[in-house]
Chain A
Amino acid sequence: MIELRNVTKLYGKVIGVNDFTLTLEPGAYGLLGPNGSGKSTLLNLITGQLRPTLGTVLVLGEPPRNNPELFRRLGYCPGSEGLYAGVSGFDWVRYLQQLQGMTSHEAGEAAEKALGLVGMTQAMHRPISSYSRGMRQRTKLAQAIAHDPDFLILDEPFNGLDPVGRHELTTVLRHWIRQGKSLLFASHLLHEIESLTQSFLLICGGRLLASGTAQDVHDMMVGLPNEVALRTSDPHALAALLLREHVADSVQIKDGFLTVATPQPGRLFEQLPGWLKASGLEVSEMHSADDSLQELFNSLMKLHRGEL
């Protein structure tokens, strides 16, 4: 579906995407990364808005830049607003479908259907200036799906949606995925991606940090230090004990908590009670990294920043 070979995009001296190599088969993927990580640049490269400084981009087997045939099969919902205030949602979506090559009548029918799918039937003939942010998001999604593309690309589609709107949009997108169509969905919030797919790409600093399912990333993390936080009566003494026992790579004391990065979490959990009993130290709270994607994400980010 997408193939990027050593893709680099430079804005003058600033790197947007750095030596990105990736092959994605048809399916649903979440593109996860903090703000400024290069998600939008990557989407702009995939949709042909930008030309890579180095490397090759192929989407559905074709280069995306100035490629009318590809644009017939692609639906894109950008992160920016960019709607015409004085025009109705229906007129705007119909106009964009006419640009897809539909006749006015076909475009009107497609617009009506898509706006209905995202719950905008009641408001579709009102000017966009009267829409709430959530309604504008839904209208944006409608323009992307109205021509029934094979591959849908969404950039932060949940922005500005209330919980009900998020639920409705999630339902629409789950239905989309169930139909066997492909989706690439960018967000800086992991739970948004988790609600739709377990396959994700983690991007930071213009580089691909990890890709695959949560389990793939778990496997990748084996052997990397785990963080354990302990509330204790004497954090300095406990830190010294753990360093003496060679079970901690690094320690940090803050607000009565001792945070330990350990390459041997199993040994730590097994032997800690004995060490506490022997030293007379007390531990009242203990937190360790859970298995959620959020923790994986946090660990990968720390790894990328050299903190692990």
Chain B
Amino acid sequence: MIGNVAAVFLFEWKRALTLPRMAWWAVLALFPVFIVGVIRFTMPDEARRAMNPIPAEQIWNFWAAMFYALIPMLVSMLGTLLWATPAISAELERRSWVYLTVRPNGGTAVLLGKYLAAVTWVIPPALIGLTIGVPLADTGDGWRMWWAMVRLVCLSCPAYGAIYLMLGTLLPRRALVLAVAYTLIFELVIRFIPAVINKLTVQFRLQALLVEWCNLSLAGPGGRPSGVQALIGDEPAWQHVSILLLLPPVLLLIAVAILRWSEFSASAESDV
């Protein structure tokens, strides 16, 4: 089984080494760098900042939020959405699925191999974007910022990859629609509802870890708790990390169960 998964993983990586896919890879890596560069070079220069000084804490908070939005959110979510969601649907559309599923544990191997390929395909551009972007941003403590974001990327890519893969397995013929709807509704809207339901989102965990690892100050004017505090919760970091580490295996197990139960034959809709 491990050999089968490795075969799918290597085959998918080999297939991915084409010009269009490499171009997408480069866009994922360089887009955050481009945005950081634009912000950095439109900021007031040092002489003007000296006349109207901005507290270092505000600058740190701004860059932490910016890097988080660009990399663990945008690159991880977009990258895994594009790569993991169509794992099954692409094979069904190409009508190649049947060749894979008449192999011993073929469907499961394809699912897991493609998941690993998607995650390992998205993490490198995220890390490259960080490694170029953080020194460019001049955050004050670049190393700390980089390390915090690396940990967030390494937690967000596997988690989102597993979510999108599971959604793509659940409804392969509408996989991308379902994945985009999930992202918009759960990760970007429900996440900001200060209720128990927002704890079901990956964003809740990642943002709590961002606050913890970047030591962001959430206090409002006069030291009072701000509204943001209500969205972060008060669970310890280890709890968030544990949940994010447990999420992928649980979701992959569900995806495999769905796969074994489902009938994906093309003849169900066309030729009988």
Give the interface of A toward B (CB within 8 A).
11, 14, 16, 35-36, 38, 40-41, 44, 47-51, 66, 68-69, 71-72, 74, 76, 78-84, 86-87, 91, 95-96, 98-101, 103-104, 143, 206
Are A82's CB and B272's CB within 8 A? no
Are B104's CB and A206's CB within 8 A? no
Are A101's CB and B95's CB within 8 A? no
Give complex CA distance A87, B13 in Å: 12
Closest residue on chain B to residue A72 by CB atoms: B104
Tell which of A80, A103, A104 touches B95, judged by Cβ atoms closer than 8 Å: A80
Tell which of A49, A91, A206 touches B272, judged by Cβ atoms closer than 8 Å: A206
Given contacts A36-B272, A40-B272, A41-B267, contact A86 B103 (CB under 8 A): no
Are A40's CB and B99's CB within 8 A? no
Closest residue on chain B to residue A95 by CB atoms: B11
For residue B234, CB closer than 8 A to chain A, the reply is no
| Set of chain A residues within 8 Å of B75, measured between Cβ atoms | none
Give complex CA distance A182, B104 in Å: 20
Closest residue on chain B to residue A17 by CB atoms: B272
Are A16's CB and B104's CB within 8 A? no
Are B271's CB and A35's CB within 8 A? yes
Top 3 A-B residue pairs of the complex, sorted by shortest distance between their CB atoms: A68-B104, A98-B7, A82-B95
For residue B206, CB closer than 8 A to chain A, the reply is no
Are B4's CB and A71's CB within 8 A? no
12 sample A-B contacts, Cβ–Cβ < 8 Å, listed by A number: A41-B267, A68-B104, A78-B95, A79-B271, A80-B95, A80-B266, A84-B15, A96-B99, A98-B7, A98-B11, A100-B103, A103-B3
For residue B162, CB closer than 8 A to chain A, the reply is no
Give complex CA distance A100, B106 in Å: 8
Are A86's CB and B18's CB within 8 A? yes
CB proximity of B107 to chain A, nearest CB, Å? 8
Give complex CA distance A50, B97 in Å: 13
Closest residue on chain B to residue A206 by CB atoms: B272
Are B267's CB and A76's CB within 8 A? no
Are B3's CB and A83's CB within 8 A? no
Are B7's CB and A40's CB within 8 A? no
Give complex CA distance A101, B6 in Å: 11
Tell which of A14, A16, A76, A98 touches B4, judged by Cβ atoms closer than 8 Å: A98
| Set of chain A residues within 8 Å of B265, measured between Cβ atoms | 44, 49-50
Given contacts A99-B109, A206-B272, contact A78 B98 (CB under 8 A): yes
Are A99's CB and B98's CB within 8 A? no
Are A99's CB and B268's CB within 8 A? no
Closest residue on chain A to residue B101 by CB atoms: A49
Given contacts A35-B271, A82-B97, A83-B96, contact A71 B263 (CB under 8 A): no
Interface flags for B84-98 (1: CB within 8 Å of A; 0: not) read 000000000011111
Are B98's CB and A82's CB within 8 A? yes
| Set of chain A residues within 8 Å of B96, measured between Cβ atoms | 82-84
> Which B residues from 231 to 272 make CB contacts under 8 A with A?
260, 263-269, 271-272
For residue B33, CB closer than 8 A to chain A, the reply is no
Give complex CA distance A51, B269 in Å: 15
CB proximity of B23 to chain A, nearest CB, Å? 15
Give complex CA distance A99, B100 in Å: 8
List 7 additional contacts besides A99-B7, A206-B272; criterion CB under 8 Å: A16-B267, A36-B271, A84-B15, A96-B100, A99-B4, A99-B100, A101-B4
Closest residue on chain B to residue A149 by CB atoms: B102
| Set of chain A residues within 8 Å of B3, measured between Cβ atoms | 98, 101, 103
Are B272's CB and A14's CB within 8 A? yes
Are B268's CB and A96's CB within 8 A? no
For residue B58, CB closer than 8 A to chain A, the reply is no
Given contacts A16-B267, A41-B267, A50-B268, contact A78 B99 (CB under 8 A): yes
- By CB atoms of chain A within 10 A, which of B3, B8, B100, B265 has the most? B265
| Set of chain B residues within 8 Å of A47, measured between Cβ atoms | 98, 102
